[in-house]
Amino acid sequence: MAEPTAKDKAWAIFDRIIVDASPFGLHTNPWRLMDDTREYVPDIATLERLLGVPLYLKATERSSVRALALDVWLAHELRRAGFEPDAVWPRLRHPRILPVPITKLLEALPKAEKMILTQRLIKKTSISEVTSSNPSILGKNYLSQVDVIMTDWVTGPEILVSTKRMDSSYGKNVTNLVAESYGDAKNLRLRHPMAALGFLIAVRSDILVKEPLIFGWLTDLVGKIGQEDDAYHATSLLLMDYEGDLAIDEENDEKEPENPLTPAGPEPAPDENKDVADIPSDEIDRALLELPRVTIQEELVDPHLQAATFIANIVNRTLDVTPITLHRKARLLRKNAAG
């Protein structure tokens, strides 16, 4: 068996962190009543742990592991909000992208047949036309990579979220970021007008010192692409704070692409039919003990771009445009917000 890649190791650690955050798949109600206002309370502690994984692995941008932490967290939040776990991609387990009808078929099969088919699905990294690690959705004119998705054959895509991460080279990348994201939003919105479209970017907090004007510009742009009638329904900006000596030296990374803004989520890779790597549990335990500390500095971001507002807008949009017979658990959680 081939040596596990950084992505293989990251998935194993991510999975353990999510299990710790939701034992047996159970969640507390993320909605709270604050001064008679219903607010969503995101699990920021879990996000901070997930963001420490790429730093622990010293993962480069090209590996997609750094940005993948955002995908795992957002999918976790959608499950906390009460949406069908297997309809949210990336899934809780491998394969990360698997159509809901196949999961329902597995549940209906006799035990012996279910075991055979399950082993077939989980043995390889992907199976052509069945499972995948790189979600793409057809927009009006072209396929767009979308990093966090909720979909089913009955409803079609209901949630489409694109995520980005930027740890350096802030000045020269902001324009490319907005142009790419703006184009994807319009492309997707024209084909899927009822889906809740979201955009989230995580930026290292040293931008406030190195490029304060760029941070102001980025804040303004991210806010504006969430105000267009034919673009995103919700946008968010996260500030990540971590020690300087944890950063990867991008200049020494020969595989680093010219643009260090990496779309969150697994990039297309020639790994179809590759065996899934097995990561020893003691290696995962050691990683969890040694995870670098990452802090999300929410107080430095405008309220309308904070994670709580972003997730609430995505959830509310999804529930508001679907019949009350759908997503009953999510509706019940929102209705029964704790005081």
Tokens of 49: 């742990």
Judge whether 151 and 157 are in contact, CB under 8 Å.
Answer: yes
Please write down the HEC assignment for all residues of 12-76: HHHHHHHHHHCHHHCCCCCEEEECCEEEECCCHHHHHHHHHHHHHHCCCHHHCHHHHHHHHHHHH
Q: How far apart are CA 126 and CA 120, in angstroms?
A: 10
For the chain, the domains span 10-77+132-266+285-323
Q: Which residue has the tokens 């944890």?
A: 246
Q: How far apart are CA 169 and CA 161, in angstroms?
A: 24
3-state secondary structure of 180: helix
Task: Spell out the per-residue pLDDT of the chain, length 339, in tens.
Answer: 568 888 889 999 999 999 999 988 889 999 999 888 899 999 999 999 999 999 999 987 777 788 899 999 999 999 999 999 999 999 898 888 888 888 888 888 898 888 888 887 777 666 666 656 667 888 999 988 899 999 998 899 999 999 998 888 888 777 787 788 888 999 999 999 999 999 999 999 999 999 999 999 999 999 999 988 888 999 999 999 998 766 555 544 444 443 434 444 334 444 555 666 788 899 999 999 999 999 999 999 999 999 999 999 999 999 999 999 999 999 999 999 987
Strands annotated E in the chain: 31-34, 37-40, 88-89, 136-138, 143-145, 148-152, 156-166, 196-204, 234-241, 262-263, 295-296
For 13-51, write each residue's pLDDT tens digit.
Answer: 999 999 999 988 889 999 999 888 899 999 999 999 999
Give the phi and the psi of residue 157 in degrees, each rounded to 5: -60, 130
3-state secondary structure of 319: helix
Tokens of 147: 């990093």
Half-sphere exposure of 293 (CA within 13 A, CB side): 3
pLDDT at 167: 85
Q: How far apart are CA 287 and CA 52, in angstroms?
A: 10
**How does DSSP classify residue 267?**
P
Q: How far apart are the first and last CA of the chain?
A: 52
For 217-227, write each residue's pLDDT tens digit.
Answer: 999 999 999 98
